[in-house]
Amino acid sequence: MQRHGRSLVVRDPVWNTIRMDPVAVAIMDTAAFQRLRYIRQLGLAHLVYPGATHTRFDHALGVYHLAVRALRILEAGPGAPGRAWRGARLIPYAALLHDIGHYAFSHALEELEPERIAGDHEEMSARFFESAPLKRALEPLGEGAADEIYRIIRGDGDSALRGLVSGSLDLDKMEYLRRDARFCGVPYGEVDVERLLQGLALLRDPASGAWEVGLRGKALSTLESLLFSKYQMFRTVYWHHAVRAATGLYKRIVETAVEAGLLSPLDLVGPTDEELLYELARRARAGRGPSATRLFRRWLPALRERRLPKRATEISAWQLEGRTVPSWVSGDTPEKRRWEDGIAAELGLAPGEVILDFPVKKRMFQLDVLVERSGRVVRLGAAGIPGLIDLPKLAEELYRTARVLRLFTFERRRVASEWLLERLAGGPRAAETGAAPESSATTPAGAPP
Question: Quick one: how far is CA 361 from the chain centroid?
Answer: 9
Residue 263 identity (one-letter amino acid): L
pLDDT at 59 over 90: yes
Note whether 234 and 402 are within 8 A (CB): yes
CA angle 364, 249, 41 (to 5 degrees): 45
Residue 354's SS3 state is strand
What is the spatial distance between Cα 54 and Cα 15, in angstroms, rounded to a whole number?
14
pTM value is: 0.90
Compute CA distances 162 → 95, 195, 213, 227, 370, whole Å: 10, 20, 8, 21, 14
pLDDT band at 5 (very low <50, low <70, confident <90, very high): very low
What is the spatial distance between Cα 129 and Cα 124, in angstroms, rounded to a whole number?
9
Q: Phi/psi at 40 (nearest 5 deg)?
A: -65, 135
What is the spatial distance between Cα 325 and Cα 403, in angstroms, rounded to a whole number?
14
Alpha helix locations (H) across 77-120? 91-97
* Tens of pLDDT, residues 304-331: 999 999 999 999 988 888 887 888 898 8
What is the spatial distance between Cα 404 and Cα 387, in angstroms, rounded to a whole number?
33
Q: Phi/psi at 297 (nearest 5 deg)?
A: -90, -20
Alpha helix locations (H) across 49-207? 56-76, 91-97, 121-129, 132-138, 145-154, 171-184, 193-199
What is the spatial distance between Cα 330 and Cα 138, in angstroms, rounded to a whole number?
39
Give which of 99, 156, 100, 96 is closest to 128, Cα–Cα.
100
Taking each helix axis as running N to C, give the angle between helix 417-424 and helix 334-346, from 0 to 180 degrees, rounded to the nearest 10.
130
pLDDT at 1 over 60: no
pLDDT at 172: 93
pLDDT at 391: 64
Query: Is the pLDDT higher at 63 or at 332?
Result: 63
pLDDT at 11: 96
* Tens of pLDDT, residues 403-433: 999 999 999 999 999 999 999 988 444 333 3
* Tens of pLDDT, residues 122-175: 777 788 888 899 999 999 999 999 999 999 998 887 889 999 998 888 899 999
* Tens of pLDDT, residues 243-256: 999 999 999 999 99
Give which of 288, 291, 297, 315 is closest to 400, Cα–Cα.
315
How does strand 369-373 pair with strand 211-216? parallel
Residue 102's SS3 state is coil
- Give the rounded percent of residues in the chain with a pLDDT score beyond 90: 59
